[in-house]
Structure 1
Amino acid sequence: MATLQVSVNLASKGTISATINVPKIRVSHVSIPQLPFRGLVEELDNRNNQTVDKTTLIKEDAYYSSSIGTNIFTAHSINNNSDPLVISKLHSIMEAIADRVEMHKNIGVQRDNWNHLLLTSVNAITLAAATMTGIAAISTTLEPVVALKVSSTLLYLAATAILVVMNKIQPSQLAEEQRNAARLFKQLHGEIETKLALCKPTINDVNEAMDRVLALDRAYPLPLLGVMLEKFPQIVEPAVWWPKGNQRQIEGLGEKVKGNGWDTKLEEEMREIVEVLQRKDIPEYLRLSEKALNFNRFLAISGPLLTGIAALGSAFVGNTNGVWAEILGVMGGALASVVNTLEHGGQVGMVFEMYRGNAGFFKLMKETIESNIREKDTEKRENGELLKMKVALQLGRSLSELKHIAVLSSENKASKIEEFASKLF
């Protein structure tokens, strides 16, 4: 006990003394437990005072990622047997993927703006030149005729140069490439998150993720000079954005089921789906791609050709006895505006890239199924039930509809079935 003595001196009544006993307060050492490190995006939630398993912590963490653009709910599992270096490498790859998503989104918007702005500008230039040519044709004095002729000829030449560049790079097709790349990088980001949540990742997973990132970079390059995709290829082939020998698997889904979800019936069903994809879907979208490419090639040649002819006609307005120069100068510009609107306003290049990408999508599905069937050890395959569900969702069908297509294909080997495997596209 500590004693506190208080004295009060009153002039008239003397001194009053009081004693107050105050207990001593002992301050002991306060220890603050340190929070264990759980990764780059995890926090330890102690609000419910729940016991955490010593070997595995699975925590759902909702966060907003500005680079991905949506709220992503991730589940990460931390296993004491996991290699921390592998986890760190996968997180680094995810950060690089998120950055690529943002880059492709921004550049895709930029190139879509190129298409609209350049189309508007070149049509305005072409119609202005055609109007000047028409005015020069009805002018009676020499001075205005010369000024209008020179101006219209220069405008036509400028429109021709702009069209040559536009038709070479195909801004609408470039924008579609960047949209596809952003979507596929998002998909890869989600697959790595799933692998971190459900599996014990290894260095093979890191190598696979690196290969897929680099394959996407090659399939959808960001620069224009030197590495731009050929916009008018001689042979139309499906788009390929995955490394060779691709076989995506998800391991560690709990206890192993005998046969890993595979049986003879499922194998036969998957073989029939592959056959339908090979016979119907892939050739159909390659055929549509070739039609879009040929139409786009025709328009790409016609636009600059018409503006060049119009420039030639406008230069000879008033210098010939006939009216052919005036007709070429005015009609050439009008037709060029129509052709440019069809090509770039209709985004024919984007349509070609969309069909080519769809053919690549079916080719990837075909190779994924085949790679699983070729693997003799069913335990090393992707789970059969999971693969069947993924194929059904990607084709826009239910499981019963997927089975119906396989049965229909097997029963009509001689006569080709008319129904496609996919209902999504």
Structure 2
Amino acid sequence: MPPQTELRCMLSSQKQRDNWNKLFQRTLTSTMMVACVLSALAGCTGAGLSLNLPAFMLNAGAASMMAIINQFQPSQLAEEQRTAVRLFRKIAADVHYALNVPDHLRQNMLSFYSDCRRRLHALDKAFPMPLTPGGLEKFPSQVVPTVLRDPQEEQLLPHQQSSKEDTQLRLAEDNGWNERLVLELKNVSSTLRTGDIPKYTSWATNVVKVNKLLAVSSPVFAVIAAILNMLSMTNVLGTLPGGMLGMWAAICGILATFLGSMSNDMQLGMVFELYRNSAGYYADLDTSITEMLQMPAEKRENGAIFRQRVAYQLGRWPCSEAEPMVDAAVKEAGTLF
């Protein structure tokens, strides 16, 4: 599929899923509110079957729809496609830059082609367009950063890299690389692994726990409201306080609406996806630094250009070569999120 066509499909999918989120939430909120009013009126007036039956049907239908919608998390689906569009556009911008940059600043084209191919394959897996099968797990038991590029097929072994590094650096001084820059980038990579990535992963873990609790609680309260309406309907002998059952059904319906709104209207699925993708962004940056340092120094991208690019991706203004990009005492390298 041509890149322009794929981007148009993703933009259409993003708008579609955002519309789903608004439509579902408005429908569920209005349905539950009508059911609450009917349950309360039945409890106050003792109208019985004429009000309890439609309240029961509305509560049961809303509970079923909540259970289905909470499995798909429409707000998270929309955020997945927004992120995919942004990342595919970034690849297109990188290709345009690589084709137009002067030869002495250009990265090795074979390595660049391999990197673009790995990123494209990873994005297809990380942000699938079909809902089923192959959709992302909405409530993962273990949150891991988004994988934005496939693993490298061939890598230099650590002992091979260290044995050749000094010679390579001496041969590549005209490429902007030196020992100080290598140590600086290693410090940035270490800070990303120990600070930024674990922080956003832990935040995503906390959000998914809260979202899962709300996603389970809202249909449960809707089911309880439906059961209470059914009991109030079948209370023919008057052995149960039908008025109280109607009022409790209304209260449970209000709780179900409130919890469903907390989960979906506040878009906790989207917040989880934002944190997970933030961790994936910094993990991908760490991977790019590691792989660049594993390449022979004379085949790397120009060191000064690469340093500036890393600084911009961290949200930092590239300082002079005499000043470190990230201080050793800093616990987090990134400032973007």
TM-score range, shorter chain: 0.7 to 0.9
For residues 285 and 115 of structure 2, the distance between their equivalents in structure 1, rounded to whole angstroms, comes to 18
Aligned to 1:314: 229
Q: In structure 2, how many angstroms separate the alpha carbons of the residues matched to 1:259 and 1:288?
A: 43
Give yes or no for the alignment of 1:197 onto 2:100: yes
CA displacement, residues 253-273 of structure 1 (integer Å, 9 cap, x when unaligned): xxx973411111111111111
- Normalising by structure 2, report the TM-score: 0.86
Aligned twin of 2:157:
none
Which of 128, 151, 165 is the matching residue for 2:34? 128
TM-score w.r.t. the length of structure 1 is 0.69
CA distance in 1, matches of 2:253, 2:152: 52
The answer to whether structure 1 residue 388 and structure 2 residue 300 are counterparts is no
Which residue number corresponds to residue 334 of structure 2?
Answer: 422
Which residue of structure 2 lines up, in the alignment, with residue 295 of structure 1? 210
Q: 2:198 aligns with which of 283, 294, 307?
A: 283
Aligned counterparts of 1:263 and 1:202: Cα–Cα separation in 2? 22
- Relative distance call for 1:383 and 1:203 in structure 2 (3 A) is closer
Find out whether 1:228 has 2:99 as its counterpart. no
The residue that corresponds to 2:287 in the other structure is: 367
Deviation at 1:242, TM superposition (A): 1.2
Hey, what's the Cα distance between the residues in 1 that align with 2:97 and 2:54? 62
Q: Which has the higher strand share?
A: 1
Contact 2:43–2:245 at 8 Å: present in 1 too? no
Q: How many angstroms does 1:321 deviate by?
A: 2.8
Aligned: 1:353 with 2:264: no
Structure 1 position 160 matched with structure 2 position 63: yes
1:229 is paired with a residue whose SS is coil
Residues 25-424 of structure 1: pairs in structure 2 closer than 5 A: 96-140=2-46, 144-198=47-101, 208-245=115-152, 258-317=173-232, 319=235, 320-322=239-241, 324-375=244-295, 377-400=296-319, 403-404=323-324, 406=326, 408-409=327-328, 412=329, 417=330, 419-424=331-336
Distance 1:257 1:288, change over 3 A: same
Q: What is the DSSP-based 3-state SS (H/G/I as helix, E as strand, rest coil) of the residue aligned with 1:330?
A: helix
| 1:26-59 CA-partner distances (Å, limit 9, x unpaired) | xxxxxxxxxxxxxxxxxxxxxxxxxxxxxxxxxx
SS for the counterpart of 1:303 is: helix
Q: Pairwise CA RMSD of aligned residues? A: 2.3
Larger Rg: 1
| SS across alignment from 2:2 | helix
- 3-state SS of 1:316 partner: helix
CA distance in 1, matches of 2:214, 2:174: 55
* Percent of residue pairs bearing the same amino acid type: 30
1:423 to 1:207, Cα distance in 2 relative to 1, 3 A? closer
More helix by share: 2
> Aligned partners of 2:203 and 2:112: how far apart in 1?
37
Separation in 2, partners of 1:230, 1:401 = 44
SS at match of 2:141: coil
Once residues 108 and 214 of structure 1 are traced to their aligned partners in structure 2, the CA distance between those partners, rounded to angstroms, is 20
Alpha carbons 2:318, 2:325 under 8 Å: kept: no
After the TM superposition, which of the residue ranges 397-406 and 304-313 deviates more from structure 2? 397-406
1:237, CA displacement in angstroms?
Answer: 0.1
CA distance in 1, matches of 2:284, 2:91: 14
CA change 1:246–1:385 in 2 (3 A) is: farther
C-alpha spacing 1:96/1:363, structure 2 compared with 1 (3 Å): same
Which residue identity is paired with 2:309?
Answer: K
C-alpha separation in 2, matches of 1:206 and 1:264? 27
- Within 2, Cα distance between the matches of 1:206 and 1:287? 34
How far apart in 2 are the matches of 1:245 and 1:98? 27
Tell me, yes or no, if the aligned pair for 1:299 and 1:343 is still in contact at 8 Å.
yes
Displacement of 1:324: 4.8
Report the CA distance between 1:344 and its aligned residue: 0.8
Moved more, 351-360 or 336-345: 336-345
- The answer for unaligned runs of 5 or more in structure 1 is 1-94, 248-255
Deviation, 1:227, is 0.8
Supply the AA of the counterpart residue of 1:379: E
**CA distance 1:129–1:401, shift in 2 (3 Å):** farther
